[in-house]
Chains A and B, each alone.
Chain A
């Protein structure tokens, strides 16, 4: 029997009102992602990559179609319902790292664990910091870390809950080459070791090539 897809999007569309009428950002998007699978979404600036990521992650609601997360009607839930499901199944890595500046490294990693009420949050966070090579930096605040270190903390945070699905939005976009390669290698190692499905939005064809599937977004439509 085929397993339930982690993520399933059907006829997804997004329109916004504009002075000259309705503007279509995304149109008729279908995609499916199974456990452990990886998918890269590329496309030129303004093609709607981040909008699509927002819809898939339940950070925004579609104008048409539906997103199902682990078989649940994700896009039909209210804000709090989507947040709860996202917390349970999803991890995130952003181009701008988005660490909470008032929390130190270990507290940032603890954040998703605490939000979902996971036990042994601190011990697990320390374990993940160790995995990304930053055990010695656990009490440092984001402002005291380099860009590469911040992104490694963000990776530890993303994997701390051992999510079924990881969304990565240009994860190496703000890093120099050496740090970018280190973070990318860590991302795919963790993805492989933990069987986490991955949705990767990137400009970088080399990074996209690491993924099993590759879609390009052009004028709001996906092409394989």
Chain B
């Protein structure tokens, strides 16, 4: 009968305990990243669907056909029509973005409305009823209108029944802020606005969660008319989740490093474990045990005894996952499907199978007479089998971590670069030290040689420690101090508020208010929204021959409306690099130098922009360098005075108001309710909090990396233990005192850990260089945190120095 106590027996072995710990750490790291990525992806997909108004949008200049609507009739769907129109009251005109909605709107989230201007906001499940409109507060202010009154939209008078405060699909961005109007889709025809040539978008929005998205898209795709296209939450997510994907990729890379190190620790420990088990297997074989019996009694029990540590790793990760979910809120919580849990359970087994099994498998096949020697060595696996295991296991785990083949390719490429590149980089100084060490004193030379003569163990260990220590110190400095340091360096009266949506008629009163309150204002800039359409008369897409690159500054500038401004003087935070500053005549433009380079613009080029009131044309007369960190309004395109005349515009400014006068700002907002006031300090506080969260996550990953490298160190120490004991015994025989042996051991750790701290320190400094150039005028933002690697390493060295030494007699150690 099976005795459960047999499963406790392997735990007596140090090699088994190292294997179990390594698999626990790997299991924890993999599960934590997979679960957290799943949770974030799920939330992101939901938010994206909410932001674009549906999981799938069929959009076009004509409404969706009846056949198309019928195809999605069994799913929640909604039809929305969007266009712009001018609202008129007496002699006041306001350009408004109109959204005409049906009863199915909104598919996700809720509208926020109020019964009157500055009334208490509350959620609304559906849009306005026929005959009514909801209007944004800024439009009400500009038109001098109140709720309960009628407004003319096209040919139709509609009742303003509520103030529209927020739409779930409003989209982000401070500049896409035409005042909004929402009406019922049934009223659109009666307004008479939509005629031939009107710029209008018709949308059929469909809720298709999870895999249903592909099914719906496939059903609709064959029915698409020429003027129709499909946008999905995945496409929109890809457009906007760049930074999140980058973060996820780096997180996955860190986990793969943990996996490789844990694999290394398992590999080394399995060698020792194999030697421990070899004699038992040989005796079993001698007495007639079959392979199946050895498999079940030795390997089977070994595997079963490892299971608790895998479960503990999984449980710890699940705990961290639940904590994250609680922190993010439960309303959009992701329920991991069963196959995710299955994969998470399998991942550490894959690592064990890849790194330990080939070595232990030899026990099954090795003839007993080869093992029953005087001093059984670890049975060595066939090199090919080892290699296949060591290559296959990380690839399989990487497949589990990455969601797509593209991500897998990127992850594997990064993994190979770091896992091979960093050890190779460290190999050079190790070789140099080895050569220089030929003349070192005996203790230092012995210590150095123990490391330099075993590069396959030393380099991965050193690389992992360097990475872990560098990430820890960088994450700590960035998360705790860097942004605060940067804020401390800002000029004393750097603007702390930005103002958007300031209209012509309010400008003088607004200026007077700021003057009265002692605010410092760098300047006022008129803003017109426009898109660059032609360069030297050529359509911009043809003129810019550069390959499409979503991250390229020029491509980003081409794909959206830009803020265009006029100025008569070069702003303090700008510097002319080529050409000259703008003259007095209209029709001149100065371009930000990096964007100009990206678009291939030169002085003398003629640019055409499409704006609301028609096209604008100007000649490039100069290129400017812009200090984007100046906290003053900065622009890619600045025009000479008079160029933007006739365009619909608002004003933008920034100002500095002493903190003790911030209590007067509510009065400013009451006086100018249409303005958008951004508190820079509040935004920076938010950014600081986000960076602190990200740095905590990086710190946790680095701690796992450090734990994995310590495990490799322990496994290497265990695997080389016999040789080490023999070497120490030999030194004893040759007359070495215990002080020399202790010195060698401490120096070995000093070289390894001190080397790791030194390179981590250098890596940290190297990472600070671009930050220093970008944020600190070229100065390195040094701080006490840069010494963190040393602070972590010194206690480890003290522990090593204080560790009691084995007093075993040298003759026995030489024999054994």
Contact B453 A92 (CB under 8 A): no
CB of B245 within 8 Å of the partner chain? no
Give the residue of B442, B730, B734 whose beta carbon is less than 8 angstroms from that of A87. B734
Are A101 and B815 CB-contacts (below 8 A) given A59-B733, A80-B738, A115-B740?
no
Within 8 A of A (CB), among B723-740: 723, 726-727, 730-740
Are A54 and B809 CB-contacts (below 8 A) given A79-B738, A115-B736?
yes
Chain A contacts of B738 at CB under 8 A?
A: 79-80, 83
Chain B contacts of A116 at CB under 8 A?
A: 735
Contact B809 A59 (CB under 8 A): yes
CB of A86 within 8 Å of the partner chain? yes
Are A102 and B449 CB-contacts (below 8 A) given A84-B735, A87-B735, A115-B736?
yes
Give the residue of B445, B734, B735, B809 whose beta carbon is less than 8 angstroms from that of A60. B809
Give me 17 other A-B pairs in contact (C-beta within 8 A), A50-B815, A87-B736 excluded. A50-B811, A59-B732, A59-B809, A79-B807, A80-B737, A84-B735, A88-B735, A92-B733, A100-B446, A102-B727, A103-B445, A103-B449, A107-B445, A110-B442, A114-B442, A116-B735, A157-B734
Contact B727 A112 (CB under 8 A): no
Contact B734 A111 (CB under 8 A): yes
Contact B450 A102 (CB under 8 A): yes
Contact B732 A83 (CB under 8 A): yes
Chain B residue nearest to A102 (CB atoms) is B449
A157 to B736, alpha carbons, bound, how many Å?
14
CB of A140 within 8 Å of the partner chain? no
Could you give 30 example pairs across A and B, Cβ below 8 Å? A50-B811, A50-B815, A54-B809, A54-B811, A57-B733, A59-B809, A59-B811, A60-B811, A79-B738, A79-B807, A80-B738, A83-B738, A84-B735, A84-B737, A86-B734, A87-B735, A88-B735, A90-B735, A98-B814, A101-B453, A101-B727, A102-B446, A102-B449, A102-B727, A112-B735, A115-B442, A115-B734, A115-B735, A141-B453, A157-B734
Residue of A107, A110, A115, A141 with most chain B CB atoms under a 10 A cut-off: A115
Chain A residue nearest to B728 (CB atoms) is A100
Q: How large is the interface on B (under 10, 10 to 19, 20 to 34, 35 or more residues)?
A: 20 to 34
Within 8 A of B (CB), among A80-99: 80, 83-88, 90, 92, 94, 96, 98
CB of B522 within 8 Å of the partner chain? no
Within 8 A of A (CB), among B421-474: 441-442, 445-446, 449-450, 453
Total residue contacts A-B, CB cutoff 8 A:
77
Chain A residue nearest to B445 (CB atoms) is A107
Chain B residue nearest to A167 (CB atoms) is B733
Q: Which residues of B contact A (CB under 8 A)?
A: 441-442, 445-446, 449-450, 453, 723, 726-727, 730-740, 807, 809-811, 814-815
Chain A contacts of B814 at CB under 8 A?
A: 94, 96, 98
Give the residue of B446, B736, B807 whose beta carbon is less than 8 angstroms from that of A83. B736
A101 to B807, alpha carbons, bound, how many Å?
22
Chain A contacts of B731 at CB under 8 A?
A: 100, 111, 115
Q: Which residues of A contact B (CB under 8 A)?
A: 50-51, 53-54, 57, 59-60, 79-80, 83-88, 90, 92, 94, 96, 98, 100-103, 107, 110-112, 114-116, 141, 157
Chain B residue nearest to A87 (CB atoms) is B735
A112 to B732, alpha carbons, bound, how many Å?
10
A178 to B442, alpha carbons, bound, how many Å?
35
A96 to B816, alpha carbons, bound, how many Å?
11
Chain B contacts of A92 at CB under 8 A?
A: 733-734
A80 to B731, alpha carbons, bound, how many Å?
12
A58 to B815, alpha carbons, bound, how many Å?
16
